[in-house]
């Protein structure tokens, strides 16, 4: 079976983990954590990067930093993972779902302003498949309404929008290093702070509400409980694994892009025939080949396609069930307007295997997929 995802190791992960153990520091904020933070700051331009135990944790920290209260509203797409909404729901806020664009499958920036109410406290965008949202328009809307922007850049490491790294544009951003992402630590994430006003408090929230970070920098002689917070630090074991991955992040991206481009060329003729629709990448964006997806005719065609690939030993999967149609989404959130694109895309999208090491098996995936598409349309 060719799996949908297979975690990649660069070769130095276990060595770095053994180094962390030898140093006697396995809890959070050790040398490897600091190395990862520095790498992220250098590559994204963030004012401060703080490694977390998950992207979910980073989003939860963002919600805390914004002092969200029950009844506050946060505008976001419905075509996203549950963490995007959960982080704000935990603070009592209401996710206000906006439809996505038909081309990039990112939040439709033209619908955001109409969704703003007196209760709106933030806009949270999701860079789907590592392709940037239309951030110029979104930041302009946010500035006019004095709203902070959170970038859910879980899929966006080393992607850019108009030459700006994803995660560097909004006031706050969250990255993911889950095993399904390009650069991994099994579980893991990071909060990027692009607005200096949030830096000091973010360190406190991340350290269980204490000023422990100041203590270790020698700025105070003892630390104590000063704010709300939780344990958002990853262990040094995860940071050591991630450090080895970050050292090879550019190579990993190049290899993924080669796989993505091979897929893209292989299905060009079928798109011309109207059998599928391939991903659309705006000219002003560069992407990181986080995923390769196809849009099929309808739900029945997708179901048939996935089943045929599975019979041939290929793991292909669909993606999100829209949050606005989920039980929790209906309970905790609301839609700002009809969601035709979200509803349509969620039933037709299928993701093909894409992981470093697939090179020798990709031809089988392509041949199997092409045959299935011909048979489904027959």
Question: What CATH number has the domain bearing residue 364?
Answer: 3.90.1150.10
Does residue 178 sit within a domain? yes
Rounded Cα gap, residues 215 and 269, in angstroms: 62
Q: Buried b vs exposed e over 8-41: b needs ≥16 C-beta within 10 Å?
A: bebebbeebbeebeeeeeeebbbbbbebbbebbb
Residue 232 and residue 160 share a domain: yes
Residue 331 and residue 285 share a domain: yes
Residue 103 and residue 237 share a domain: yes
Does residue 326 sit within a domain? yes
For 265, the token pair is 């060329």
Single residue among 230, 247, 264 that ends a domain in this structure = 247
Does residue 139 sit within a domain? yes
Does residue 235 sit within a domain? yes
H helix runs in 124-175, sequence order? 135-144
Question: What CATH number has the domain bearing residue 173?
Answer: 3.40.640.10
Strand order across the 285-286 sheet: 164-165, 160-161, 285-286
Residue 297 and residue 242 share a domain: no
What's residue 216's pLDDT? 83
Residue 274 and residue 339 share a domain: yes
Does residue 5 sit within a domain? no
Q: Buried b vs exposed e over 298-330: b needs ≥16 C-beta within 10 Å?
A: eeebbebbbebbeebebbbebbbebbbebeebe
- Domain residues for the domain of 241 are 13-247
pLDDT in tens, the chain (378 residues): 999 999 999 999 999 999 999 999 999 999 999 999 999 999 999 999 999 999 999 999 999 999 999 999 999 999 999 999 999 999 999 999 999 999 999 999 999 999 999 999 999 999 999 999 999 999 999 999 999 999 999 999 999 999 999 999 999 999 999 999 999 999 999 999 999 999 999 999 999 999 988 888 889 888 999 999 999 999 999 999 999 999 999 999 999 999 999 999 999 999 999 999 999 999 999 999 999 999 999 999 999 999 999 999 999 999 999 999 999 999 999 999 999 999 999 999 999 999 999 999 999 999 999 999 999 975
Residue 295 and residue 233 share a domain: no
Single residue among 247, 282, 313 that ends a domain in this structure = 247
What's residue 217's pLDDT? 84
State the CB neighbour count (10 A cutoff) for residue 153: 29
232 within 8 A of 206, measured Cβ to Cβ: yes
Of 142, 138, 129, 59, nearest to 95 (Cα)?
59
Does residue 8 sit within a domain? no
State the CB neighbour count (10 A cutoff) for residue 172: 27
Residue 354 and residue 310 share a domain: yes
Rounded Cα gap, residues 197 and 348, in angstroms: 42
Does residue 17 sit within a domain? yes
Residue 313 and residue 240 share a domain: no
The total number of structural domains that make up the chain: 2
Does residue 6 sit within a domain? no
Rounded Cα gap, residues 209 and 224, in angstroms: 8
Residue 264 and residue 237 share a domain: no
Residue 178 and residue 151 share a domain: yes
């Amino acid at each position: 079976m060719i799996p949908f995802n297979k975690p990649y190791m660069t070769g130095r992960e276990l060595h770095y983990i053994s180094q962390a153990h030898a140093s006697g520091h396995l809890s959070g904020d050790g040398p490897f954590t600091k190395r990862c933070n520095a790498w992220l700051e250098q590559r994204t331009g963030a004012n401060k990067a703080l490694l977390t135990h998950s992207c979910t944790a980073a989003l939860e920290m963002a919600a805390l930093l914004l002092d969200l209260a029950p009844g506050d509203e946060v505008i976001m797409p419905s075509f996203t993972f549950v963490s995007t909404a959960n982080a704000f729901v935990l603070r009592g806020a209401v996710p206000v779902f906006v439809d996505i664009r038909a081309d990039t499958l990112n939040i439709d920036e033209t619908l955001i302003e109409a969704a703003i109410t007196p209760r709106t406290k933030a806009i949270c965008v999701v860079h789907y498949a590592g392709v940037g949202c239309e951030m110029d328009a979104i930041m302009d809307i946010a500035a006019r309404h004095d709203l902070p922007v959170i970038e859910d850049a879980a899929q966006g490491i080393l992607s850019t929008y108009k030459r700006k790294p994803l995660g560097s544009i909004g006031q706050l951003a969250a990255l993911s290093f889950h095993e399904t992402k390009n650069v991994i630590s099994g579980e893991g994430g990071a909060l990027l702070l692009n607005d200096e006003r949030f830096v000091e408090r973010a360190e406190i929230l991340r350290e269980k509400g204490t000023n422990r970070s100041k203590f270790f920098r020698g700025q105070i002689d003892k630390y104590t409980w000063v704010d709300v917070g939780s344990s958002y630090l990853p262990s040094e074991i995860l940071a050591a694994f991630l450090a080895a991955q970050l050292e090879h992040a550019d190579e990993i991206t190049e290899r993924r892009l080669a796989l993505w481009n091979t897929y893209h060329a292989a299905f060009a003729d079928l798109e011309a025939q109207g059998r599928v629709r391939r991903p659309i990448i705006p000219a002003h964006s560069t992407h990181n080949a986080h995923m390769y997806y196809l849009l099929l005719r309808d739900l029945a065609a997708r179901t048939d396609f996935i089943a045929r690939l599975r019979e041939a030993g290929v793991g292909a999967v669909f993606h999100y069930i829209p949050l606005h149609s989920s039980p929790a989404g209906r309970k905790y959130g609301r839609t700002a307007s009809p969601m035709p694109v979200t509803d349509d895309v969620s039933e037709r999208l299928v993701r093909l295997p894409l992981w470093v090491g697939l090179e020798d098996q990709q031809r089988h995936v392509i041949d199997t997929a092409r045959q299935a598409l011909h048979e489904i349309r027959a």
